[in-house]
DNA sequence: AAGTTTGCTTAGAGCCATTAAGGAAACATA
DNA sequence: TATGTTTCCTTAATGGCTCTAAGCAAACTT
């Protein structure tokens, strides 16, 4: 399909990627604040205003970075998933979680970027922006596998009637967004597991655990073991 | 003790506080990026360079904000704690956790600020900076109460020998920093509980849960119930 | 009453984002 | 091949930012 592009269009795509790479390089080697139009321009050997021919402004460049990071992260997760047989969604789920942390700690600035980017409240987002679509694609990897697990080998769920009414309502709403693949009570297990894993990861990459921990891996594996229990799958040590 | 200060020194303290207030106002009403020396100066009716007579620069002002936020948060937690009798550390622990979330969601920009401020790795911090001392004071509220609970009514702990060796080592090191008030196995319960509560809070304030939840309160209370179980204390509904 | 400290001012260097205007090269077309 | 158009990039300029330097005036000290 690249061959279908004209020479000019290919050049343009190259430059777009080069600019993104320069921006990422600045993020990783310096800081989020160092990702400026001018600094990026210097990095690729242009003047500042030239960058505006490729990205509409700083916000647009930032959004492109976010999109690229989400896609790369989701790619790492699906790759790890596909290394396990599709007949074992439990193992796949663990593989996905581990790949996610692996990407997060080997690309800490990028993961922090994703986490701390100013996320507007749900009611004022552009659901069709590439950024949002990439974020959805990322979320869906874990969701899809949990749904498959639920369908092939249902895990124990809490009694809906014993949950807080407000929570029940929210779970029903979320269940609907999965097209009913996960009923509300299964969504509860799914979401709380997700929150525990991602909450831990969030604290780790944001350096909020260094007051007590130098290596969070065993903590993550412990968390994973508990999540495995919740999902009714057997925990296996990482290879 | 305020009376012991000269008139000038009192004026100076007033201006320092006024500048901090203006900075906070900008943070809350605009964004973290809006907290600039010039904008703050405008807010208090000075020119930019005048602010440098009060704070050494933007970083210094930011650090002062962080310190003030930590102190206010710790204050809210101790106040809630002291509303419960000291003879019931379990109830106090719950009160502290709820006060922490309450402050976090009523002062969301400030809590995000604390969480996402670029925290340098543990090995390159100034342990005697006001910022660091305030952060310690905040952490200690929860720690002290857990230690008291442990001393008066020890909670169930995991077998140290069954923990990952690396984790064991880290727990021992952390236990030492508590002056031995919490042995390593109790520190494990303490730290994992902390991480679950704070991890959830982190995701909430960073808007990472809005894809599924509009009201995180029942989720937090569920989490608190599990934490209560871990600590062997009775969960009680919030008043 | 004179000297010192303090609190502010303006001026200025050097970043930054962004827009406007224009030149040169590449491409398309007559 | 000559002409027109699109594309890429430039410089210039506006205005915001951090921060330093120099200096004035009021307030304190002696």
Number of CB pairs, chain A paired with chain B, less than 8 A apart? 109
Distance of CA B213 to the CA centre of its chain: 24
Give the nearest chain A residue to B127 (CA atoms).
Answer: A211
Give the per-residue pLDDT at B1.
Answer: 38
Q: DSSP state, A4?
A: G
- Indicate which of A212, A221, A229 best probes the interface with B, i.e. most B CBs within 10 Å of its own CB: A212
Q: Please, how many CA atoms are within 13 Å of residue B94, restricted to the half-sphere of its CB?
A: 25
% of chain A at pLDDT higher than 70: 95
pLDDT at site B132: 95
**pLDDT at B8 (0 to 100):** 79
pLDDT for the residue numbered B6:
80
Residue B65 in contact with residue B24, Cβ under 8 Å? yes
Asked if A198's CB is within 8 angstroms of B121's CB, the reply is no
- Tell me, what's the pLDDT at A1? 37
**Which pLDDT tens digits describe chain B residue by residue (239 residues)?**
344 668 778 899 999 999 999 999 999 999 999 999 999 999 999 999 999 999 999 999 999 999 999 999 999 999 999 999 999 999 999 999 999 999 999 999 999 999 998 766 556 677 889 999 999 999 999 999 999 999 999 999 999 999 999 999 999 999 999 999 999 999 999 999 999 999 999 999 999 999 999 999 999 999 999 999 999 999 999 98
pTM for this predicted structure: 0.94
As ranges, strand D nucleotides with an atom below 7 A of a protein CB are 7-13, 16-22, 27-29
What is the model's pLDDT at position A7?
A: 78
Q: How confident is the model at residue A2 (pLDDT cuts 50, 70, 90)?
A: very low
Q: Which residue has the higher pLDDT, A13 or A239?
A: A13
Question: Nearest to residue B171, comparing CAs of A68, A213, A102?
Answer: A213
| A207 at B interface, C-beta within 8 A | yes
- pLDDT confidence band for A4 (50 / 70 / 90): low
Model confidence pLDDT, tens digit, residues A173-230: 999 999 999 999 999 999 999 999 999 999 999 999 999 999 999 999 999 999 999 9
Each residue's pLDDT tens digit, A13-26: 999 999 999 999 99
With cut-offs at 50, 70 and 90, classify the pLDDT of residue A75.
very high
- Strand D proximity: list residues 156-175 of A with CB under 7 Å: none
Closest residue, by C-alpha, to the C1' of C19: A49
Q: Both ends of chain A: CA-CA distance in Å?
A: 37
Residues in contact with A130: Cβ distance below 8 Å, sequence separation at least 6, in sequence order: A63, A64, A67
């Amino acid at each position: 399909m690249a061959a279908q592009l004209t020479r000019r269009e290919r050049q343009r795509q190259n430059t777009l990627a080069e600019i993104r790479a320069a921006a990422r390089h600045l993020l990783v080697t310096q800081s989020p604040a160092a990702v400026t139009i001018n600094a990026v321009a210097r990095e690729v050997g242009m003047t500042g205003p030239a960058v505006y021919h490729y990205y509409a402004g700083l916000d647009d460049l930032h959004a492109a970075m976010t999109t690229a990071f989400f896609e790369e992260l989701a790619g790492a997760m699906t790759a790890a998933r596909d290394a396990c047989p599709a007949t074992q969604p439990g193992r796949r789920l663990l593989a996905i979680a581990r790949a996610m942390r692996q990407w997060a700690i080997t690309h800490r600035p990028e993961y922090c970027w994703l986490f701390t980017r100013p996320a507007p409240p749900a009611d004022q987002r552009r659901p069709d922006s590439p950024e949002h679509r990439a974020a959805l694609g990322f979320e869906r990897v874990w969701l899809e596998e949990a749904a498959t697990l639920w369908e092939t080998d249902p895990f124990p769920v809490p009694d809906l009637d014993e949950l807080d009414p407000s929570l029940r309502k929210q779970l029903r709403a979320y269940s609907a967004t999965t097209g009913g693949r996960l009923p509300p009570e299964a969504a509860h297990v799914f979401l709380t597991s997700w929150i525990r894993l991602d909450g831990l990861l969030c604290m780790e990459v944001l350096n909020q655990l260094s007051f007590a921990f130098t290596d969070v891996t065993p903590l993550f594996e412990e968390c994973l073991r508990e999540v495995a229990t919740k999902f009714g799958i057997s925990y296996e040590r990482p290879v």
